[in-house]
Structures are given as structure tokens and as C-alpha cells.
């Protein structure tokens, strides 16, 4: 039986097309709360929820319940998805997100990290053994067949 590579996915801007990828905490503050931002999250039509088993997001832990609710709303089975979130309660600089993700990917020896943020992928790639690729590369560039979904 072939070994299935470990693949982690980013949430905002990758699994979801949303405004949160632009100014996450600014939007939460301006729109008067986290519940109001849910309606702006739209599932990226390229992805298939069944392909996703690990989600690695830098959303802070106070957003876990909301994040789980929106994942269920978009067809994810939380019994089959492992959600890894930022342990911090506050917003931090993007460089901290890169370090957090690199530590996690390396510790658990992930093979791929899917993120549609070109800048973050460029910053993250030198820090991790995981191959950092976009959604399109995953589905069109061969990683999907490596993953067993070809």
C-alpha cells in the first residue's frame, strides 16, 4: 500500500476566497464582530473538501468555534479534519505566522503545504522541508496524484 503524503492547507485566501486575507483583524473590528464576517467567506471553487485533512491557519484561538462552524457550513466533516490554529489570543505580524507554520510543518514532517499567498510561500519555503505550493499546483501540477487523488 502506497504511503499517502501529509498535506496541510491554509484557510483564508486558499480554502476560502474572502476579505479576511486582506486585513483580517481590521475587518473584524470595522464590521462589528466575527459573526458578521462569516457571510463574506466563500469556498474556493477549485478545492474539494474531501481532499483536506489538515488545515493550518494563523487565525487566533478565540476564533476556533466560529471557524469550525463555517467549515461545517461549507461541507467539511470535522471528525476528519484536524484544525491547527494560532495559539495566541492576539493579532501578530505575518512573520510570526511564517515561523509558526514552519515549526508545525517541520515537526510533523508534512510533505506539502498549500497556500495561495505567493509572498507567504516564498517566505516559508526556505524554512521548511514541506513543498509549498498553490491550489492550482496541487490539482494540476502533480501533487494531487502524489496525494492519491489523481
Give the angle subtended at the CA of 11 by the CAs of 68 and 140, to the nearest 5°.
130
Give tens-digit pLDDT for 13-71: 888 876 544 455 555 555 455 555 555 677 888 888 989 999 998 877 877 888 888 88
Domains of the chain: 7-147 (3.40.50)
Instruction: Retrieve residue 70's grid coordinates.
Output: 463555517
Question: Does this model's pTM top 0.85?
Answer: no
Q: How far is CA 81 from CA 1, 18, 36, 71, in A?
A: 22, 20, 24, 9
Give tens-digit pLDDT for 26-36: 555 554 555 55
Render 6-29 in DSSP notation, one character per residue: PEEE-TBTTTEE-THHHHHHHHHH
Amino acid at each position: 500500500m502506497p504511503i499517502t503524503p501529509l498535506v496541510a492547507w491554509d484557510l483564508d485566501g486558499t480554502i476560502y476566497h474572502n476579505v479576511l486575507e486582506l486585513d483580517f483583524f481590521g475587518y473584524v473590528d470595522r464590521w462589528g464582530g466575527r459573526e458578521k464576517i462569516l457571510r463574506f467567506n466563500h469556498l474556493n471553487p477549485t478545492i474539494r473538501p474531501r481532499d483536506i485533512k489538515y488545515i493550518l491557519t494563523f487565525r487566533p484561538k478565540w476564533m476556533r468555534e466560529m471557524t469550525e462552524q463555517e467549515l461545517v457550513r461549507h461541507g467539511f466533516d470535522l471528525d476528519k479534519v484536524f484544525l491547527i490554529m494560532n495559539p495566541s489570543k492576539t493579532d501578530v505580524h505575518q512573520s510570526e505566522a511564517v515561523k509558526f507554520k514552519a515549526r508545525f510543518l517541520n515537526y510533523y514532517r508534512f510533505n506539502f503545504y498549500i497556500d495561495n499567498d505567493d509572498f507567504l510561500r516564498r517566505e516559508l519555503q526556505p524554512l521548511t522541508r514541506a513543498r509549498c505550493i498553490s491550489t492550482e499546483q496541487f490539482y494540476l501540477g502533480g501533487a494531487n496524484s502524489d496525494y492519491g487523488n489523481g
